[in-house]
Amino acid sequence: MELTITQHKMANLLKEAGASLFTPLVGADDVDLAVRGADGQYVELRILEPKGGLRKFTVGRFRPKPYVFFLCVTTEETWVIPSNVFERFSQGVPNGPSHTLDFDQDDLGEPIGERLRIYRDRWKLIAEFRKYRSTMSDPVALQMMLAMG
């Protein structure tokens, strides 16, 4: 499998965070990279790019799993979003044909991007998955966990 420029960039950032990377076997269309973090835990990544320079990311049908992340990549930032968080904050029907996460969409008076800012450039969520797994799906609990070290 040949990696795109964006996938190469993400792979290098993950290596710097202490992760070991693997490309999936042929036929694993829903996984761009498999990662073994510094703690030995494996996770799967989907790398998404916005269309038209916006902060809007769309994926087809998927089933959220605790060890699957969507890396939403813009020119200025990368969001490390657990799949269940992506599903919860995206537009689309559960098990529907597609889900779109728009970081600029208003969510009770603030953009979703601000509400999910704890996931911005958080490589340690992948590299140290086991440590953060229990709080990963709750942005407030995750923020407290990260603050405690």
Residue with tokens 């990963």: 136
Q: What is the largest CA-CA distance in the chain?
A: 44
d(CA 9, CA 47): 11
- State the average pLDDT over residues 130-149: 90
Residue scoring higher pLDDT (121 or 94): 121
Stretch (H or E) spanning 145: helix 139-148
3-state class of 129 per DSSP?
Answer: helix
Question: How many other CB atoms are found less than 10 A from the CB of residue 32?
Answer: 22
Which residue from 9, 65, 19, 56 is spatially nearest to 39, judged by alpha carbons?
Answer: 19
Pairing of strands 20-22, 110-111: unpaired
Comparing 142 with 52, the larger pLDDT belongs to 142
Question: How does pLDDT run across 24-34, given as a tens digit for each residue?
Answer: 766 566 788 88
Which pLDDT tens digit goes with each residue over 34-80?
Answer: 888 777 889 999 999 997 668 999 999 888 999 999 999 988 899 99
Query: What is the rounded radius of gyration, in angstroms, for the C-alpha atoms of the chain?
Result: 15
How far apart (Å, rounded) are the C-alpha atoms in residues 85 and 64?
9
CB 51 within 8 A of CB 61: no
Q: Yes or no: say if 119 and 103 are a contact pair by the CB < 8 Å rule.
A: no
Residues 97-137: tens digit of each pLDDT: 889 999 998 888 899 999 999 999 998 898 889 999 999 99
* pLDDT of 142: 92
Q: 5-148 is classed in which CATH architecture?
A: 3-Layer(aba) Sandwich (3.40)
Sketch the domain layout of the chain as residue ranges: 5-148
pLDDT of residue 27: 58
The predicted-structure confidence for 4-14, as pLDDT tens digits, reads as follows 888 888 888 88
